[in-house]
């Protein structure tokens, strides 16, 4: 006879309460069982001692005679130290792919370069603040402003006839 250690549901609607039982694998979930070896109340907090109650001696006995625990019961047995449970998920599955790793490295390099540039700018600003301030000549800025205004005036002169020609085509 194939034995299984599994949960048998009790409790009312939306208020589950489980018994940890040893039963024939062919019997229904909430049906006939051989022995009740513990309880599980999922409504209690995870750190509550009454959440899982398990008779470890009886669990060891039933494991020794060949009872197979379900995944959930195997977790309970692992928590109580009765049986070691191997992890079933693939640890490499959650790791990022090659391109994601490359993008993360590029971002890290850019952040490092930006931090270095900010540090250099801060050092330059401190050096400039420490150095004596020289007053610039009064004529030099005036020439720069006049030189900047001249190309702007030429650009507006060229745009104006083009705009007038566009208006004539629209009217005609």
DSSP structure class, residue 50: T
Q: Tell me, what's the pLDDT at 112? A: 94
Mean pLDDT, each 10-residue run in order, the chain (172 residues): 90 94 90 92 92 92 92 90 79 84 94 92 84 60 53 53 54 52
Q: What is the pTM of this model?
A: 0.51
Q: Tell me, what's the pLDDT at 63? A: 92
DSSP-assigned beta bridge partners for residue 7: 20
Q: Tell me, what's the pLDDT at 148? A: 55
Q: Contacts for 29-36 with beta carbons within 8 Å, 24 or more apart?
A: 33/8, 34/3, 35/62
Q: Give one DSSP letter per residue of 4-27, joined into a string.
A: EEEEEEEEETTEEEEEEEEEETTS
**If we measure between CA atoms, which residue out of 4, 19, 124 comes closest to residue 65?**
4
Q: Tell me, what's the pLDDT at 127? A: 82
Give all domains of the chain, ordered by start, each with its CATH number: 3-80 (3.30.1320.10)
């Amino acid at each position: 006879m194939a034995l299984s250690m599994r949960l048998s549901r009790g409790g009312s609607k939306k208020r589950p309460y489980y018994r940890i039982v040893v039963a024939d694998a062919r019997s229904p979930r909430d049906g006939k069982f051989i022995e009740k070896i513990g309880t599980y109340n999922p409504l209690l907090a995870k750190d509550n001692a009454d959440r899982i109650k398990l008779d470890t001696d009886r669990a060891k006995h039933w494991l020794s005679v060949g009872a197979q625990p379900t995944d959930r019961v195997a977790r309970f047995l692992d928590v109580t130290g009765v049986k070691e449970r191997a992890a079933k998920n693939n640890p490499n599955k959650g790791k990022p792919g090659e391109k994601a790793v490359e993008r993360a490295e590029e971002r890290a390099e850019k952040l490092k370069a930006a931090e270095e540039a900010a540090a250099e700018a801060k050092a330059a600003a401190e050096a400039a603040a420490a150095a004596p301030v020289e007053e610039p000549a009064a004529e030099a800025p005036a020439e720069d402003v006049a030189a900047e205004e001249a190309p702007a005036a030429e650009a507006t002169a060229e745009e104006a006839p083009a705009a007038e020609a566009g208006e004539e085509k629209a009217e005609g």
